[in-house]
Structure 1
Amino acid sequence: MKKLYSNTLMQLILALCTFSFVACQEFDIDSQPEGPLNIQIDALESYTALATSPSNVVFNISSNTPWTIESDQQWCKPTPSMSAASSLVSEIVVTMENNTGKKARTAKLTIKAEGVEGTKVVTIEQASKEDLVVVPYDELVPTEGGSITFTIASNKAWEIIPSTAFLSNIDKTSGTGNEDAIAETVTVTLPANAGAKRAGTLTVKTEFEEYTFTITQNGVIIELEEDPESTTISMPGTGSGMEKTVLIRANKEWKVEVPKEYQSWLKAEALSETELKVTTTTTNNLMVNRVGHIIMKTKEVIDGFDGITFDISQGTAFWKEGGADNYVVDEETGYMTLYGSGIVTNYLFKKGRLAFDFESINLTGEDWIEFNMWPNSGNTNFHLHFYANKESNFTCGGSGLNWTQKTFTWTSEQTNVVKKIEFLVVNKEEGSNALVLKLIIDGVEVAVLDNNITDPYATEPGAPVYFRMHTTNKASNFTVKSITWEPVE
């Protein structure tokens, strides 16, 4: 029994001593875990960076021993550059300054850990500042073609991209560049041009920069002597019979054509090898300028040359009365919607047919449309005051003449569907000095004035045409498509 007690006591004493040793050991040792010293780095062997606004390089270090990072270049800085504590994962951010030089540069980051043999080296290559200088060819290439040259100075690899086939014969379309940006000469060979003057672009491109310039080659020359860059001929007036002669410079014999869609109002002819005559045969009846085309072609057929188109611009024959908020003009169609303003013709009306073509009419209440034609001296005039649901009057009169008038009353259903109003003014009889005035609406003769109206146009230069919308609240409006005057002698 005594022996058993003795053994138990000895075991208790041994246990207490073991506990005391362990406690002392944990208090005295470093916080580093037991085991071999180790460092792990997930950085690549090398990185590349842009010259301007380079992106940061980021990697991680995991270590159970203190470590340091040293950069051999001031422009390349790692943060942090040493461990703050062991047994932790640290994110390393490497920042770089802009490279303002013309050469690439290299920085090396050396990573060391205490108690660990060897080092880790990370290489960072930063590109040089982009330097691309192109001295373009800026002369006109002759019609017969030939070789032209330009120079490229670049410290980066480059390539040339042509925009069109006739510029594709290039002796070298790419290059590696050089750090000193020494100029290289490039040769482009152009074929002969049998067609019109043509132009294309060459683009010199590096990874981050490009330069584009235009090469123009002469061809068939048919151009305006006064302004070779222009292809627009503006007519001197808005009426019929307006003529304009322009001088033409050409290196081929030429002819002129008027497309069918413009032959109703436009003529063109060659007066000589250097003179072109353009004539308008009708007055512009739109509320905006109208533009037609003529085509200048070579007399001999040349493959690939379809001619040069010239625009012929004729001004509108009307001027607008009142503020712009009282009308709207559709520039595409030439139609005008009037709410409370008037229109006056730039030409003088005499005897003949005057036709108003409408897209729509919308008369409400007591609003009305006024048509008024009068000689400049004011001796005689005739007019139409056109109402809906109220008496309209077609009137002619003047000093020394008997007034004559016809009236009619139409409903809004009748007035608001009208598409065409015509005024016909002719001699009552051949050789007579008396006139007959007729009002024709949508092809129907509505009123005739023939009360011995003396012809005022025998001595007067003619009458401007005036028409307008009379409305108090803009509730009424009409849209006129065109005004056409066909004079008679």
Structure 2
Amino acid sequence: MKRILTGSILQLIFVVCALNLNSCQEMNIDSQAEFPVKLETDAQPQYSVLATSPRTIIFNISSNTPWKITSSEEWCTPTPAMSSASSLVAEVSLNILDNPEEKPRTATLTIAGENYEPETVITVTQDAKSKLVVQWIDDKMGSETSTAEFKIISNKAWTATSSSMWLTLDKEAGTGSAEPVTITATAAANAGKERTATVTISNGLEEQTYEVIQKGFILEFAGLDEMENPYEFTGNGTGTTTAEQNTKTYSVNANIDWKVSTEASWIELEKAEDNKTFTATVKNEYYFDTRTATIALEAADKTLGLEPVEITVSQMGGDVVYDGKDHTVDTDGHLTLTTTARVTSRFNLKGNKRKFAIYEWKFSDTDFTDDHAIDLNLDGKPAAHMWMGPNVNFTTNSYKFQIAGSLYSLIENKVNKDSRNKMHTLRVEIKPLENNANKASYDVFLNDEKVMDTVEIDISAIEVGYTLYFGFHASSTGTASMTISSFEVIPVE
């Protein structure tokens, strides 16, 4: 019995050991199991970006093995470029620079995992830099049906559009090309005022806008740049006719009837019959200062609503020679003559000045403290010498106008000291008689009032030219001054 029990116990022990051994073997196999290597990404195989300010491309990588990204181009770089030690999921950004070239470019990025196949390849294509060059129309288009060409160079497809129906384009779209494309713009005839249309040219990335101006009613000065001093007339002429430098012929470009005008009485305007030119003539010689005037072109038909086209012209002061002393010219070009006792202070115009003319002085101030005479001397044949006041050397000449050796009286109570203190204008007119070519008339006006009876003299022995003197002479005494704002000579032909 004892042997049987002992044997049973041994068998039981053997079974238990066998079971325990089997259990240990199974536990050892499970603890040594291997997991598969994996690398996954949501990146797309291909990306396209703009040339300028391209977007940032972002994708994710999930991996249980180390990885890295390589780029074939420096302008496209990943961040991060490899996995961190503890990272299972990483966000990757592709940073892309602007494309400075006028052609597209491509970068290839390769994602490789350690002990992992296959590699992941990503292609990034960047658009070319925009090139849009337009050679535009330089001039205005004619008012008639007219055409003009411009050119487009673009490395991308382009469009061209006109804002107005009266302006059409023979090409409104095209493909990218290195060669210029010529486009013809056609403007319909314009029977109205000048008008403007806008042409917009775009290649999708860049847009340019230009104006087309079409002439309408045409009225303009032409050829001013080709004229010599088109805006300036000289101050004084020589000889018996108006000097050539005081006459200018202006050209006019117009498709309507027009007229020319000026507010200045000293400019004479004459329009040519061909409707293309007009002549401006300065009728007066002018001294001491510069004066200006406006010459205006206007449509003959006021209903057209055109504004006048104007230029400003000037006449320079003429040459003046001063005798004696005590004369000043202020910033306005006004001449002041001053005398004390028997001091000469006057100006003269030497040379062949006209005999037949209207001589006119305008005064801004006069001060005849004493009864000092105004002296006007017109040398030549016949000689003329006027004393508007007392002559202490030759008393018989006081208040007289001596012409060709004869004395003619001024109306003394109209030219006395008080009248001269109120003097604004003095005018001496020497004109040929209309009904007798051998005689001339002399008249004197103070403030537009006649102060001498008309004198008619024989001029059959006349010689060309006067030397004119005007102001104060030593033949008179006392204190006086006068400021002459202008002096002009108006020829009488």
Please, what TM-score do these two structures have when normalized by structure 1?
Answer: 0.48
Question: Rg larger in 1 or in 2?
Answer: 2
Please, what TM-score do these two structures have when normalized by structure 2?
Answer: 0.48
